[in-house]
Amino acid sequence: MQEWVEGIKVSRRGVLRALGLLGVSAAAAPFLAGEPGVASGQGNLGSLQPEEKVDATLKRLFGGRPIKDGSNMIKMDLPLIAENGAVVPITVEVQSPMTPTNYVKSIYIISDRNRRPMNARFSLTPEMGAAAIGANLRLNETGDVRAIAELNDGTLLMAKREVKVTVGGCGG
């Protein structure tokens, strides 16, 4: 008798456990499989973007277009040593006329060693009078910072500078 009850109990427990496992997995399945899909489907700008190497970023932004050396035209001003990677001031100035027929269309700031190297893109207009912009960056670790200027005729010019970062700012 005792054995029989025990047998029932065990089997009942086993069934419950099996049900529980099923339930848990059934509840977890849509959560695990569905959520990233929904998030990317909505095109949420704030969602986590995949990690990228700088070569992949350049390819994504510019395709295979040649990037010329623009170190004599682009003046970058940023510290050689950044003690605090969370706030690194940078100014980029492109020595180019800003007329409706000849101007700098955009300036990209790219830091090689951040999780996502593309930091900021500025779209300029001739009304600005001069192609000069400034911002504060977060740099993750010591590495190159590039400024890429795209002229209105499609020419790409690049300048880069190495910045030593003492304490990383954990860039996005």
Partner 1 sequence: MAEIGKVRIRIPSNIKRGDVVRVRSLVIHPMEIVQRRDGKPVDKNYLFIHKVMVEYNGREILQADTTQSISENPFFSFTFKPTEPGMLRITFLDTHGGKYEGTAEIKFT
Q: If residue 21 lies in a helix (H) or strand (E), which one and from where to where?
A: helix 2-41
Report, in Å, the least distance between residue 126 CB and partner 1: 9
Closest contact distance (angstroms) between CB of 37 and partner 1 is 12
* Residue found by looking up tokens 């269309």 in the block: 105
Side-chain half-sphere CA neighbours of 126 within 13 A: 8
Residue closer to partner 1, measured from CB, 15 or 28: 28
Looking at the Cβ atoms of 138 and 157, the one nearer to partner 1 is 138
Q: How far is the CB of 168 from partner 1 (least distance, A)?
A: 11
Residues lying near partner 1 in the complex (CB under 8 A) are found at 36, 39, 44-48, 51, 86-89, 91, 98, 111, 114-116, 118-125, 127-139, 169-172
Beta carbon of residue 170, minimum distance to partner 1 (angstroms, whole number) = 5
Q: Which is nearer to partner 1, 102 or 136 (CB)?
A: 136
Distance, CA of 123 to CA of 103 (rounded, Å): 11
Tell which residue, 147, 139, 79, 145, has the closest CA to residue 114: 139
Nearer of residues 124 and 149 to partner 1, judged by Cβ: 124
Q: Are strands 81-84 and 131-137 parallel, antiparallel or unpaired?
A: unpaired
Which is nearest to 143 in space by CA: 114, 113, 103? 113
